[in-house]
Amino acid sequence: MRLVFAGTPDFAVPSLRAAAQRGEVVAVYTQPDRPAGRGRALTPSPVKREALLRGIPVLQPESLRKAESRAALRALRPDLMIVVAYGLILPQAVLEIPTHGCWNVHASLLPRWRGAAPIQRAIEAGDAETGVCLMQMEKGLDTGPVLLSRATPIGEHETGGQLHDRLAELGAQVLGDGLGLLRAGIRPVPQPQPEAGVTYAHKLDKAEAKLDWTRPARVLANQVRAFNPWPMAEAVVAGERLRLHGAVARDEAHGAAPGTLLRAGRDGLDVACGEGTLRIRVLQREGGKAITAADYLNARRDLLAQA
């Protein structure tokens, strides 16, 4: 099979590897190099780096809406285009070019969490389960019929970064299964998404990182997990702004104002919330690295006396 792969971030790399193992990837589409790092030097995407290592030609158009972009894709004579977190909209004219259309690997159990940030939104919402779907793409946002899917539980303390890595590998497995069937002449049967249960995973915003202590502790604990490693939850604790890497909710009654530090110990910093308390276990001071609460208290012994 002549495959064209379109993807950009780390999440898409395992799927590119799976595609390369099961067909001839004749070209890789990825977003243009972007400035990154302190020097703001132009940096290739993770998918581009993987493609170059494999000797696969790379195309980086700013858009696929132009006639010349469609002509370039058509010239590749693709049997199938695989799209994984590409980041650009594919017009209907592009979806119709490959013989078997375009497949998308999406990190949720559709129709729940269509959109840009399904991994983080699932954790933030307190979902017990998520998964990946291999979807036949159509014009709508993640509305296409599902070809294959696989579910997985979300760990009680699993972070956005940890779940991201697991789903990237799971997505590659599901894609590999679909390509294996197609190579054998068996086209996966498209299953239309149900109309009930549609939710949208809106793009993460750095402004969401600031925790609101008036909210329930379990909601804040989910945010801390979901926003690790980005945008990373932030909060003011005992007059100091901290980034929270790890925290758990405690079902504890208290009469303190939200945001009050109730106690500080080697097990964590307990902060009053609108409901319950949030125990901060791993944190980061401005300009510092992630440390445990015990190490933090070595530098803030004043908190031991206050709480």
The answer to whether 108 is a known ligand-binding residue is: yes
For residue 234, give the amino acid letter.
E
User: In Å, how far are 15, 25, 136, 180, 223 from 1, measured between CA atoms?
Assistant: 16, 8, 17, 11, 43
10 burial (CB, 10 Å; 0-12 / 13-18 / 19+) is middle
Which tokens go with 153? Answer: 């539980």
Rounded Cα gap, residues 90 and 71, in angstroms? 14
Using a CB cutoff of 8 Å and minimum separation of 24, what contacts does 49-53 make?
50/13, 50/16, 50/17, 51/5, 51/16, 51/25
The DSSP H or E segment spanning 15 is helix 13-21
Q: What is the pLDDT of residue 37?
A: 81
Q: What is the pLDDT of residue 305?
A: 61
Give the 3-state secondary structure of residue 304.
helix
Q: What is the pLDDT of residue 307?
A: 53
For residue 224, give the amino acid letter.
V
Kindly list the averaged pLDDT for each block of 10 residues, start to end, along the chain of length 307: 97 98 93 89 96 97 93 97 95 97 98 97 98 96 97 97 98 97 94 97 95 98 98 96 98 96 95 98 97 95 74
**In 3-state terms, the chain is what percent helix, strand and coil (to 5)?**
30, 30, 40
Rounded Cα gap, residues 3 and 82, in angstroms? 7
The answer to whether 109 is a known ligand-binding residue is: yes
The pTM of the full predicted model, rounded to 2 decimals, is 0.95
* Terminal Cα distance for the chain, rounded: 65
Residues 6+ apart with CB under 8 A from 93: 70
The DSSP H or E segment spanning 165 is helix 160-183
Rounded Cα gap, residues 299 and 307, in angstroms? 15
Rounded Cα gap, residues 296 and 281, in angstroms? 10
Domain 207-306 carries which CATH code?
3.10.25.10
CATH 3.10.25.10 residue ranges for the chain: 207-306
CATH 3.40.50.170 residue ranges for the chain: 2-201
The answer to whether 182 is a known ligand-binding residue is: no
Rounded Cα gap, residues 12 and 167, in angstroms? 10
CA angle, residues 179, 151, 49, in degrees to nearest 5: 50
Average pLDDT of every residue of the chain: 96
Give the 3-state secondary structure of residue 277.
strand
Three-state SS letters, 28-87: EECCCCEEECCCCEEECCHHHHHHHHCCCCEECCCCCCCHHHHHHHHHCCCCEEEEECCC
Which tokens go with 32? Answer: 């243009």
Q: Which CATH superfamily is domain 2-201 in?
A: Formyl transferase, N-terminal domain (3.40.50.170)
Q: What is the pLDDT of residue 306?
A: 59
The answer to whether 167 is a known ligand-binding residue is: no
Q: What is the pLDDT of residue 38?
A: 80
Do residues 172 and 13 touch, judged by C-beta distance below 8 A?
no
Whose CA is closest to 17, among 84, 67, 79, 80?
84
Q: What is the pLDDT of residue 39?
A: 84
Q: What is the pLDDT of residue 23?
A: 78
